[in-house]
Structure 1
Amino acid sequence: MLATPGQVEVSHFLPVRTRVTVAATAGHTTVTVTGDFDLAVTASLHEQLEAELRRTPAALVLDLAGVTFCSAGALAVLLDVVTTAHARGIPCAIVATGRAVLRPVRVLQLDRVLPLHRDRAEAEDWLSLVRRLR
């Protein structure tokens, strides 16, 4: 609704309901995202993922199983992170189980270029195989 003269339009912003955790082991670094992966968090999450890649982990797992909303900007972040990891020789796996992530990925046929896995165990097995093939 547009504000008419004499009225003030007030926008209410919901609190960001996103949580990001990072766990590093000798074998790989896991970045877990839960909640909304939208415009409110894409820039800061992109910076955080880039920082993790600069640390040159043995491998990177992005666990998006708990993501409840995934924006187009979030998909761009995923593509950029996977591309950067590949260019730096860092194996990367994405855990995605929910419709919020899988639907837009499949509609845009990004499942052809994103290393998607059903759970962490599958992603870790795949990364282990990739390391052995090097």
Structure 2
Amino acid sequence: MTHPVRPARLPTGAAPLADITVSTADDSTVVAVSGDLDSSSADTFFEHTVTAIAQSPGGVIADLGAVTFCSCRGLSVLLAADHTARLAEVSFTVLALHRAVLRPLRLLGLDRTLDVRLVPLPRKELS
């Protein structure tokens, strides 16, 4: 029996250095992060992404176009979200525009595992 992967929670006393927004674009849900995707924000990003996967059969896009730093923890939750999406048979795309995300994805070969796109998306806020 296969179960969704849930990344382990790391204790942290620091306030998140990222803003996370959820919006729609066409028939997909976009979970956008700006700032640092690290241990202070990764769990919140993962929770929003898993909720979007459950509620958006049209697909989920992780918009990391405004991420200035991506830690190993951030990469871990991207893989866990991708795994969860595959189990739910929902497409999961990572939008990455800057070196802070692209370099670790490429160095670890995750750009071959994840569906990584380099094209910005228009944003429409949910009401």
Q: TM-score, normalised by structure 1?
A: 0.74
SS of residue matched to 2:43 = helix
Q: Which has the higher strand share?
A: 2
Aligned counterparts of 2:15 and 2:40: Cα–Cα separation in 1: 10
Tell me which residue corresponds to 1:117. 117
Tell me which residue corresponds to 1:20. 20
Give the RMSD, CA atoms, in angstroms.
Answer: 1.7
Tell me which residue corresponds to 2:8. none
Following TM superposition, by how much is the alpha carbon of 1:15 offset from its aligned partner in structure 2, in angstroms?
Answer: 4.9
Tell me which residue corresponds to 1:39. 39
Q: How does 1:43-58 map onto structure 2 within 5 Å? A: 43-58=43-58
Where do 5+ consecutive residues of structure 2 fail to align?
Answer: 1-12, 122-127
Tell me which residue corresponds to 1:104. 104
Following TM superposition, by how much is the alpha carbon of 1:31 offset from its aligned partner in structure 2, in angstroms?
Answer: 0.9
Q: Deviations over 1:22-71 (max 9, x none)?
A: 11255111111110001111112111211111213311111101000001
Contact persistence 1:65–1:96 (CA under 8 A) = yes
Aligned length: 109
Tell me which residue corresponds to 1:80. 80
Aligned counterparts of 1:54 and 1:62: Cα–Cα separation in 2: 14
Q: Which has the higher helix share?
A: 1
Distance 1:27 1:36, change over 3 A: same
Contact persistence 1:39–1:71 (CA under 8 A) = yes
**How much identity, in percent, do the aligned residues show?**
33
Aligned counterparts of 2:33 and 2:70: Cα–Cα separation in 1: 11
SS of residue matched to 1:85 = helix
Contact persistence 2:15–2:40 (CA under 8 A) = no
Aligned counterparts of 1:85 and 1:48: Cα–Cα separation in 2: 13
Aligned counterparts of 1:16 and 1:34: Cα–Cα separation in 2: 11
Q: TM-score, normalised by structure 2?
A: 0.78
